[in-house]
Amino acid sequence: MKISFYTLSLLALFWGSNMAAGQAVDLQDFEQVKKMMLPVLTKSIEPLKQTRACVVKSTNSEQLNACVEIMAEFQRGLIPGGGNAAPKMPRLEWSEVLTEQIRSDLDRSMLETSANIKCLQSSASQKAMDECARKAGVGR
């Protein structure tokens, strides 16, 4: 299981909620989503960086699993009630291939999160957000 599932789940929830309502999100709704999501996305950058640095330095399964817990803990903190209902990350077995995949996923997550932050900050509508994200190459 890739770490990207966990690091990108926040973004998936955000975009999924907009898509479930259809492409048309009125200005008031977009502004509300923007006010809610910008702080969360901004706060997620540091745990992503910490997780990445930890994963790169890891040399065994115990270390790797402790690294992944950094981001998991951040995500659990976003769930009302302390995240008791959040799924637990399965135990990972360290390997160079796995650590490289996780590092790559985290790099992509940081780039996409940063792009989404910039697009949210510069957009006044869902349409503008979608165009900005498309130009930034953010997969949606």
- What does the pLDDT look like over 33-77, one tens digit per residue? 899 999 999 999 999 999 999 999 999 999 999 999 999 899 888
* Whole-number Å distance between alpha carbons of 30 and 44: 20
Per DSSP, the three-state class of 116 is helix
What are the structure tokens assigned to 33, written together? 């989503």
* Whole-number Å distance between alpha carbons of 11 and 137: 15
pTM score, whole prediction: 0.76
Per DSSP, the three-state class of 92 is coil
On average, the pLDDT of the chain sits at 82
* Whole-number Å distance between alpha carbons of 11 and 116: 9
